[in-house]
Amino acid sequence: MKKVVCIVVLLIVTLTGFGWGVTGHRATGHIASKYLNKKAKKALERILEGQSLAMASTWMDEVRSDSTYNYMTDWHWVTIPDGMTYEASVKNPNGDIIQTLERIISELKSKKLSPQQEKEYVKILIHLVGDIHQPLHVGRGDDRGGNDIKVMWFRTDSNLHRVWDSDMIDDTRLSYTELAESIILPATPAVAALQKTSVREWAMESMTYRNNVYNIGNGRLGYTYSYLYFDDVRTRLMQAGIRLAGVLNDIYGN
């Protein structure tokens, strides 16, 4: 039975576009943990029952195999066509990543959630701050965030979404802690400036990476593509971690 469950979960992971892979999400959580103030850190240890932000970061993807959580499927992404703003775009009636982040942050600030709700909402927040910084989770609307664009990653069949989620990251052979530690910034005014931006600004930033993301030539990607754009991956992971900490400090650290 366990083998069947594992196979089903593996198929879901293989066929569904996630926002960053396990390593990317955990790196974002690890980075965020370095910028939490003492009060926020203590509150999160209680809420997550000792689980780290890094390990909590993948919960939203892990529960995709449980139909109980199907209502969250469309929360991982948003469609904003080229040349449009979020405000002018057609909204998904099932919700999207921008709507969900803004709502989750507001409800966490209200302090009116049950302990179980609060725990789940924090895990959703951790995950979706990561997702919205993955450029293909702010999609154009014509290729399912790059999932429909088939490419080769070296000699392996892949798609553009997966290249950004995990292929470039996994090719470094770095653990999530090694990846995170390589891009952590010292506490500077630049960090504070990153934390003053809004959810909608994060989404619009992701749109600015599209020219780079879609510069795939004949679709045979590898060393050159990674050399050109892996710094973009690192930048977005760093920004996501710093901003996640800023939101959590705002909710729990005051």
Predicted structure pTM score: 0.91
Q: Can you tell me the distance from the alpha carbon of 209 to that of 212, in angstroms, rounded to the nearest whole number?
A: 6
Identity of the amino acid at 99:
Q
Question: What is the distance between the terminal CA atoms of the chain, rounded to a whole angstrom?
Answer: 48
Class of domain 35-252: mainly alpha
Q: Are 17 and 145 in contact (CB under 8 A)?
A: yes
Q: What angle do CA 188, 190, 196 make, to 5 degrees?
A: 115
CA pair distance 95, 13, nearest whole angstrom: 22
Query: What per-residue string of b and e applies to 31-51 under the rule 16 or more CB within 10 Å gives b?
Result: bbbebbeeebbebbeebbeeb
So what's the pLDDT on residue 117?
Answer: 97
Task: Give the amino acid at 199.
Answer: V
CA distance 152 to 92: 31
What separation in angstroms does the CA of 111 have from each of 27, 106, 146, 184?
A: 28, 9, 38, 30
Annotate the chain with three-state secondary structure: CHHHHHHHHHHHHHHCCCCCCHHHHHHHHHHHHCCCCHHHHHHHHHHCCCCCHHHHCCHHHHHHHCHHHHHHHHHHCEECCCCCCCCCCCCCCCCCHHHHHHHHHHHHHHCCCCHHHHHHHHHHHHHHHHHHCCHHHEECCCCCCCCCCEEEECCEEEEHHHHHHHHHHHCCCCCHHHHHHCCCCCCCHHHHHHHCCCHHHHHHHHHHCHHHHCCCCCCEECHHHHHHHHHHHHHHHHHHHHHHHHHHHHHHCC
Residue 18: the pLDDT is: 62
Taking only the tens of pLDDT, the chain with its 254 residues reads 434 333 333 333 333 456 789 999 999 999 999 999 999 999 999 999 999 999 999 999 999 989 999 999 999 999 999 999 999 999 999 999 999 999 999 999 999 999 999 999 999 999 999 999 999 999 999 999 999 999 999 999 999 999 999 999 999 999 999 999 999 988 889 999 999 999 999 999 999 999 999 999 999 999 999 999 999 999 999 999 999 999 999 999 98
pLDDT, position 10: 36
Q: Please, are residues 56 and 33 in contact by the beta-carbon 8 Å criterion?
A: no
